C-alpha cells in the first residue's frame, strides 16, 4: 500500500519553522497510531552539508547510517520515533549528480537533458525511494521559500507528482507569516496572500495554511485568508509563538491540524491521539524545580543553530532532572589567558566543549578544559572536545609540551592523529581512507564497549552502546599506558579495543569526554544519559 504524501512548503521568508511544523505533524500522526517517515528536499547545489561552514547552514546532523544531513532531520528524530537515514535528505547536488551520471552512461539514449522532464523525474523518484511498505504517511519538507529560483524544479516535481498519483493521495501544507504591525496594532494577511498566489502560479493549491504569528489569529483574519487563498476556513491553522518548541504538537492539536489532515485523506478523526507524554514533557520543561548554569565553549557560538542538537539535549536533560538549564554560549577565542579564562568561567556549574573542525579557538577550549580539570568543575567533552582534553592532559600532566593533533601541526608527540590503529608492537594496522573531503570521515553509528566500574558505565548502565561519529582524527593508542598511569583512563573503546572512544579522569568529581556525538540520539522523552548525568552532576556538585 502506498503511503499518503504530505508536502510542506514555506513562503514569505525563511526560518519560520517548516522543519518543526513537519516534525510536529509527524508526532501527532504517530500519536494517532500511524507510522510516518519524514524526508527533506534541499535546493542547494552542495551534495550534502558536510563541507559547509556551520555559519552557513547550522549544524550538520549525522544519521545512524552515516549520512551528513540538514539539521531538520534532527527535529524529525526528536519529535518522532523515527531513525532517519541518508536517503531522507535529498539535495539539488545529489539530483544533478545522478542525472549527469546517467547521461554519461548513455541511459537517456541521446536525448537532450533538460530540467523538465529529467531533473523533475529524478526528484519524483526520490520522493518515495527506499520507503518501507508499512509507512502510512510520508511527510516531505521542501527547503527554501516559494519564489526561490533554485527551488522551482522541486515545486514543479511535486506538482507533477500529485497529478501522477492522484490528488486524493497528496496534501499540500504551506507555512507562511502573518506579521503583526505594532504601530498599526493589526495583523497583515497580505504577505501570506502573495505567498499562496506565488504557489498557485506554479500549479499548486495548498490544502492547509499554517500561519506563523506573534499574536492570536482572529476569526476575521482566518476568513480573509481562506477567501483569498481558496482554502477552507477550518484549514487556516494558527501557528503562534510558544514557550517551548515541544509545545508545538499540542498547539497544533488544539488547532485541529491532524484532524484536518485525516479528513483530507478520508481517515478516522473520532479517536483522539494520545499526547500524555508530550503533556508531561512540556509540564516538566515549563515548571522546573531548580536551575543549573553551564557554559558551552565553542567556535561557532555566534550562530546557535551550529550546536542545535546540543542545545536541545540540554533541554531534554533539564526535563529529566526537572531543572532549568541555563546555557551560556562562549566564544573560545575570548579565553585569551588563564586569568581571563578564570574570570569568564567563574560561577558556571558545568563546562562543555563541543566538536568542531580547524585550529581556530582550540587554545581557548584547552584553557576551559584545564580550568574545569584543576577546579573540579564537571566537564563534558564531545568529539574535538575529547581530543583537546587529551592534548591538554598530555601537556600539563605528562609534561609533553609539544603534544598536539596532526590536524593542526606535525609534532614530536601526536597524541591525536588521523584515524589509524596500532597493534601491540606499535605497527600501524589501519588508516582512514583518502579521498575528497566529503568521504574521509568515520560517519554514523558504531559500537562501543564500556569498562566496568567506570563513570561511563554508570552513566549508560550497560556494557555496549552504539553512538554516532563524525571525525577524521582520534586519540593515538600508543600513548595509552602513559595516560592511564597518570590518571586519564580510556573507559570506552571500539569492540576490537583499538580505537579509544571515551576518556575520564579518575580523581575528578565528573570529567567525561567522548569521541562521538551523543547529542544526535537525545529526545525529549528519551534524553541522552550522558547529558542527564552531566546536568545532574553540575547541579549537585
For 283-325, how does the pLDDT look when each residue is reduced to its tens digit (9 = 90+)? 999 999 999 999 999 998 888 889 999 999 999 999 999 999 9
Residue 56: pLDDT band (50, 70, 90) is confident
Q: What is the pLDDT of residue 501?
A: 96
By C-alpha distance, which of 297, 453, 305, 304 is closest to 379?
297
Q: What is the pLDDT of residue 420?
A: 62
What's the Cα-to-Cα distance from 401 to each of 333, 374, 392, 393, 514, rounded to whole Å? 21, 18, 9, 10, 23
In degrees and rounded to multiples of 5, residue 123 shows phi and psi of -60, -45
Q: Which ranges in 292-383 belong to alpha helices (H)? A: 308-321, 338-345, 362-374
Q: What is the pLDDT of residue 436?
A: 45
Report how far residue 373's alpha carbon sits from residue 247's, in angstroms, rounded to the nearest whole number.
Answer: 38
Q: What is the pLDDT of residue 428?
A: 46
Residue 120, SS3 per DSSP: helix
Q: Average pLDDT in the 155-179 region?
A: 96
Q: What is the pLDDT of residue 425?
A: 44
Q: Average pLDDT in the 5-29 region?
A: 94
The answer to whether residue 434 scores a pLDDT higher than 50 is no
The answer to whether residue 128 scores a pLDDT higher than 90 is yes
| Residue carrying C-alpha cell 548513455 | 106
The answer to whether residue 374 scores a pLDDT higher than 90 is yes
DSSP state of 20: H
Q: What is the pLDDT of residue 1?
A: 66
DSSP state of 303: S
- Rounded to a whole number of angstroms, the distance between the first and last alpha carbons of the chain is 55
Q: What is the pLDDT of residue 438?
A: 46
The order of strands in the sheet holding 403-405 is: 403-405, 413-418, 473-475
* Higher-pLDDT residue of 56, 194: 194
Contacting residues for 268 by C-beta, under 8 A, at least 6 apart: 262
Whether 336 contacts 307, CB under 8 Å: no
The answer to whether residue 218 scores a pLDDT higher than 90 is yes
Residues in the chain: 541
Report how far residue 166's alpha carbon sits from residue 156's, in angstroms, rounded to the nearest whole number.
Answer: 15
Task: For the chain, give the percent of residues with pLDDT over 70.
Answer: 96
- Measured at the CA of 214, the angle between CA 208 and CA 220, to 5 degrees, comes to 55
Q: What is the mean pLDDT of the chain?
A: 93
Residue 54: pLDDT band (50, 70, 90) is confident
The answer to whether residue 212 scores a pLDDT higher than 80 is yes
Report how far residue 57's alpha carbon sits from residue 110's, in angstroms, rounded to the nearest whole number.
Answer: 38
Residue 17, SS3 per DSSP: coil
| Residue carrying C-alpha cell 503562534 | 240
- Measured at the CA of 454, the angle between CA 509 and CA 428, to 5 degrees, comes to 115
Report how far residue 290's alpha carbon sits from residue 273's, in angstroms, rounded to the nearest whole number.
Answer: 32
The answer to whether residue 221 scores a pLDDT higher than 50 is yes
Q: Which residues pair with 208 in a beta bridge?
A: 173
DSSP state of 487: T
Residue 393, SS3 per DSSP: helix
Q: What is the pLDDT of residue 261?
A: 97
| Residue carrying C-alpha cell 576518556 | 503
Contacting residues for 21 by C-beta, under 8 A, at least 6 apart: 8, 173, 175, 210, 239, 248, 252
What's the Cα-to-Cα distance from 433 to each of 362, 418, 472, rounded to whole Å? 26, 10, 10
DSSP state of 346: T
> Which residues carry out catalysis?
383, 517, 519
Q: Average pLDDT in the 179-207 region?
A: 94
For 316-368, how does the pLDDT look when each residue is reduced to its tens digit (9 = 90+)? 999 999 999 999 999 999 999 999 999 999 999 999 999 988 889 899 999 99
By C-alpha distance, which of 212, 321, 206, 225 is closest to 264?
206
The answer to whether residue 262 scores a pLDDT higher than 90 is yes
Q: Average pLDDT in the 85-104 region?
A: 95
Amino acid at each position: 500500500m502506498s503511503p499518503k504524501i504530505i508536502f510542506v512548503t514555506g513562503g514569505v521568508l525563511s526560518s519560520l519553522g517548516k522543519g518543526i511544523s513537519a516534525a510536529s505533524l509527524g508526532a501527532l500522526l504517530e500519536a494517532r497510531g500511524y507510522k510516518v517517515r519524514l524526508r527533506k528536499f534541499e535546493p542547494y547545489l552542495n551534495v550534502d552539508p558536510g563541507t559547509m561552514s556551520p555559519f552557513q547552514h547550522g549544524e550538520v546532523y549525522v544519521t545512524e547510517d552515516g549520512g551528513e544531513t540538514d539539521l531538520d532531520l534532527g527535529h524529525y528524530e526528536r519529535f518522532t520515533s523515527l531513525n532517519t537515514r541518508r536517503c531522507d535528505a535529498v539535495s539539488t547536488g545529489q539530483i544533478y549528480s545522478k542525472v549527469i551520471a546517467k547521461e554519461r552512461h548513455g541511459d537517456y539514449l541521446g536525448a537532450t537533458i533538460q530540467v523538465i522532464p529529467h531533473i523533475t523525474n529524478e526528484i519524483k523518484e526520490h520522493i518515495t525511494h527506499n520507503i518501507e511498505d508499512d509507512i502510512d504517511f510520508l511527510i516531505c519538507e521542501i527547503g527554501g521559500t516559494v519564489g526561490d529560483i533554485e527551488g522551482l524544479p522541486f515545486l514543479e516535481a511535486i506538482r507533477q507528482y500529485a497529478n501522477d498519483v492522484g490528488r486524493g493521495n497528496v496534501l499540500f501544507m504551506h507555512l507562511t507569516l502573518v506579521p503583526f504591525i505594532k504601530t498599526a496594532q493589526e495583523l497583515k494577511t497580505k504577505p501570506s496572500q502573495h505567498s499562496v498566489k506565488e504557489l498557485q502560479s506554479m500549479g499548486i493549491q495548498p490544502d492547509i495554511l499554517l500561519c506563523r504569528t506573534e499574536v492570536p489569529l482572529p476569526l476575521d483574519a482566518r476568513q480573509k485568508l481562506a477567501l483569498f487563498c481558496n482554502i477552507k476556513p477550518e484549514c487556516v491553522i494558527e501557528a503562534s509563538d510558544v514557550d517551548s518548541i515541544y509545545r508545538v504538537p499540542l498547539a497544533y492539536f488544539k488547532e485541529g491540524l491532524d484532524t484536518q489532515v485525516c479528513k483530507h485523506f478520508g481517515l478516522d478523526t473520532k479517536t483522539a491521539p494520545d499526547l500524555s507524554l508530550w503533556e508531561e514533557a512540556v509540564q516538566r520543561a515549563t515548571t522546573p524545580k531548580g536551575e543549573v548554569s553551564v557554559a558551552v565553549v565553542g567556535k561557532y557560538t555566534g550562530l546557535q543553530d551550529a550546536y542545535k542538537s546540543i542545545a536541545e539535549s540540554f533541554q531534554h536533560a533539564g526535563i529529566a532532572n526537572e531543572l532549568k538549564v541555563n546555557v551560556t554560549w562562549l566564544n573560545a577565542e575570548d579565553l585569551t589567558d588563564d586569568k581571563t579564562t578564570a574570570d569568564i568561567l567563574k560561577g558556571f556549574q558545568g563546562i562543555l566543549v563541543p566538536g568542531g573542525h580547524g585550529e581556530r579557538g582550540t587554545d581557548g577550549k584547552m584553557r576551559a578544559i584545564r580550568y574545569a580539570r584543576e577546579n573540579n568543575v564537571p566537564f563534558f567533552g564531545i568529539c574535538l572536545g575529547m581530543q583537546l582534553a587529551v592534548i591538554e592532559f598530555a601537556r600539563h600532566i605528562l609534561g609533553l609540551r609539544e603534544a598536539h593533533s596532526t590536524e593542526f601541526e606535525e609534532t614530536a608527540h601526536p597524541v591525536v592523529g588521523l584515524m589509524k590503529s596500532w597493534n601491540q608492537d606499535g605497527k600501524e594496522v589501519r588508516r582512514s581512507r583518502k579521498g575528497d573531503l566529503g568521504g574521509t570521515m568515520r560517519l554514523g553509528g558504531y559500537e562501543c564497549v564500556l569498562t566496568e566500574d567506570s563513570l561511563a558505565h554508570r552513566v549508560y548502565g550497560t556494557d555496549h552502546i552504539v553512538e554516532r561519529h563524525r571525525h577524521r582524527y582520534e586519540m593515538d593508542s600508543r600513548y595509552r599506558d602513559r595516560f592511564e598511569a597518570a590518571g586519564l583512563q580510556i573507559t570506552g573503546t571500539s569492540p576490537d579495543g583499538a580505537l579509544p572512544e571515551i576518556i575520564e579522569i579518575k580523581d575528578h568529581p565528573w570529567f567525561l569526554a567522548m569521541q562521538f556525538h551523543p547529542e544526535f540520539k537525545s529526545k525529549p522523552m528519551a534524553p541522552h544519559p550522558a547529558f542527564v548525568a552531566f546536568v545532574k552532576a553540575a547541579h549537585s556538585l
